[in-house]
Amino acid sequence: MKNDASLTYNVFLFLGDSLALIAGFLAAFIIRSKTGVDVAHPMRIEDYLIILAGLLPFWIVVFALLGLYNTTIYERRFSEVARLFVGSFVGLLFLISWDYMSLDPIFPAKLVPIYGFAIAFVLLVVLRNIARLIRTSLFRYGVGLTRVVLVGNTDMTRELLESLTHRDSGYKVLGVIGFRRKLDGAVPSFSSFQSFLRATPHDMHGIVQTELFSDEERNAEILNYAQENHVSYRFVPGNNELFVGNIDVELFRNSVPVIRVHHTALFGSGRIAKRLMDVILGSMFILLASPLMVLAALLVKLSDTKAPVLYRAKRLTRFATPISIYKFRTMKQAYNNMSPEQGFRKMGRPELVAEYRKNGDQLADDPRIGRLGRFMRSTSLDELPQLFNVVKGDISLVGPRALDVFELEQYSKKNLILSVKSGLTGLAVVSGREGIGFAERRKLDLFYVQNWTLWLDILILLKTVRVALQRLFRKGARY
């Protein structure tokens, strides 16, 4: 059964986006016209509106291609804002290009599209936030909820149940099938899919299965019901299921349909595009960050004039290739160029080694690190020299964390992790959780390798900037 509420919400988003774009560029026209300075190409506001209306469909198509009308975008606010910015900027470039090539200018002055872009982007974000607030308020009154049933008896089943029963989630859980543990709240539990169907009206929108039954007929029964009744079906893979990242359906020997699984999408054109982005953005970031790097280098040198400014670490990247990555020195000189084991033993605290490894090679208050070094690490300023590693080709801007030999021995899927270059930043950095453990970081690295897209890289980079600024202002206030 289709959830018409999502379609209705999309219609309002479409209307709101159209209104924001027209209003933004119309406001830019009016503001520029009222400055008192003669415009280069005088034109009537009616003609200007006709041009905007003609270009509006292109802009909406760009938004649609960026996924701004997909249902999943509602739950990811930062991703939505980032895509709105990219879509607005693409539209701006198109308008400027058209204006340049057109015999009849479409803007009365050169600054009008710049003003229009800024105003329209603000209006887009504001109107979408208003739409989200209205939608959330309706959810609290039970309007527009997506009705689902959960199938499974795992920890993930309970986690999903807790998440989906939140009043702002937009979901209503009709029941849980096969869950053999005690349930809290008003969500009923059923032993089989048939008992659920007998007790519940057939008005569900989706089925979420977190565990496959040993009886294949029970699995087929659920999937067939979803297909025959136009109900969406989702399966949540557990730790033992295949975490598919990139698949193709093809004919094997021209007769047998098979599913081909790629370990990563980073091959062919994807690999070339990623390298181009590394070189272009890496060079640009070096130029932008050069004043900050000079300042950081001076502070490190002044903190200990006899110690080196840079620290060179041995790491492994793609295909287990050994590389040297560069960071600003953050360790006290007495422990520089020592392994964690050597450093902690030297200070007489060997018990910290186990805690250090358990916490994913980090300690909340590492005694080997100086005051300046602690600030630089907490704000990631010590990582800036690795931009040169990126341009050189040793690592990528985005990728799994560079491994040392000790960590490599702990990876059960080391070959998969090392099928791509290591990265300056990655999913673990922007996951929203500080101090995540080794196992969790490994899961995030595996997800990235198997599900890479260029858009995922762009999102991680944008989130990295946000995280770095948050850390800088938060930590800076303490020093």
User: Could you give the domains of the chain?
Assistant: 4-140 (no CATH), 146-241 (3.40.50.720), 269-330+369-476 (no CATH)
137 vs 37: which has the higher pLDDT:
137
Q: Percentage of the chain with pLDDT > 70?
A: 78
Cα 199 from Cα 28, distance rounded (Å)? 59
Tokens describing residue 240: 């033992």
Please, which residues have CB within 8 angstroms of residue 355's CB and are 6 or more apart in sequence? Answer: 363
Average pLDDT over residues 108-126: 87
Alpha helices, H only, 359-429:
371-378, 386-392, 405-410, 414-417
The yes-or-no verdict on residue 247 having pLDDT over 80 is: no
pLDDT of residue 477: 46
Cα 112 from Cα 31, distance rounded (Å)? 9
Tokens describing residue 243: 């975490």
Cα 218 from Cα 300, distance rounded (Å)? 64
Containing 150, the helix (H) or strand (E) segment is strand 146-151
Cα 10 from Cα 18, distance rounded (Å)? 12
| Residues pairing with 173 in the sheet | 148
Tokens describing residue 13: 């988003």
Cα 76 from Cα 456, distance rounded (Å)? 13
Cα 65 from Cα 57, distance rounded (Å)? 12
Reported as a single tens digit per residue, the pLDDT across 274-316 is: 888 899 999 999 998 899 999 999 988 888 777 788 888 888 8
pLDDT of residue 109: 72
Reported as a single tens digit per residue, the pLDDT across 145-195 is: 888 888 888 777 888 888 888 777 788 888 888 766 666 667 888 888 888
Cα 268 from Cα 87, distance rounded (Å)? 26
Tokens describing residue 225: 């019901």
Minimum mean pLDDT range among 161-175, 244-258, 425-439: 244-258
Strand 256-262 and strand 246-252: the pairing is: antiparallel
